[in-house]
Amino acid sequence: MKILVCISHVPDTTSKINFSDNNTKFDPTGVQFVINPNDEFGLTRAMWFKEKQGAQVTVANVGGADTEPTLRKALAIGADEAIRVNMPATDGFSVAKQLANVVKDGGYDLVIAGRESIDYNGGMVPGMIAGLIGANFVNNCIGLEVDGTSAKAVREIDGGKESVSTSLPLVIGGQKGLVEESDLRIPNMRGIMMARKKPLTVVEPVAVSAETSSVAFEKPAPKGAVTLVSPDNLDELVNLLHNEAKVI
């Protein structure tokens, strides 16, 4: 079984985010980038298929040379090879189009992508890939088993979860629950050394027009000031909650 794991290069959630050019561009200065958490759950599941069923695992992303350390980390975790499509990740459709082209060229049986990336939270790329290559699709996937050309998946739905049966080729939008957080892997020294020798292929993008663009960015409003009230002064607390906060 050939598996392609789509990897997004995203800012660490602890990074301080800023914008430039009158709030029209993201400023990467001083930002630490990581593997998108939803993709990391998918990569870990792919490693299980590799170890238990002998699957071949390729990781791929759309981005510039600055994203290669993130791909190398995925290789250090255990992926066999990496592919970088040499273009900025501008919008969901153009990214999906490039990754769909990678899937078609590679003849992959299973495509594992994160349900959404934690930077733009578009949540559209996995479904678009499935539509472009004509594959089955399971979103919000929290469980996956493959037996030959058949697959059983569990997906999260409102108020519960649903088990479905389908066949390969298959695209899933994975998320937390696809594996346990305790199963996520940290590259060890041996993996890091081996990753340096694994192939990382750079391919040029196919022609595609972006369907959307970011006009401007705006930070969330700052949190309001905190008023401290002595635990012995309950009357003042009630007064503030009633007259200022207006919650009672």
Neighbours of 67 (CB within 10 A): 21
Residues 6+ apart with CB under 8 A from 83: 58, 59, 60, 61, 102, 106, 200, 201, 202, 203
* Res 223: pLDDT: 82
- Average pLDDT of adjacent 10-residue blocks, the chain of 248 residues: 97 91 91 95 97 97 96 97 95 95 96 94 94 97 96 95 96 96 92 95 94 88 84 89 86
* Res 221: pLDDT: 84
- Note the pTM of the prediction, 2 decimals: 0.88
Give the chain's domains with CATH numbers: 2-217 (3.40.50.620)
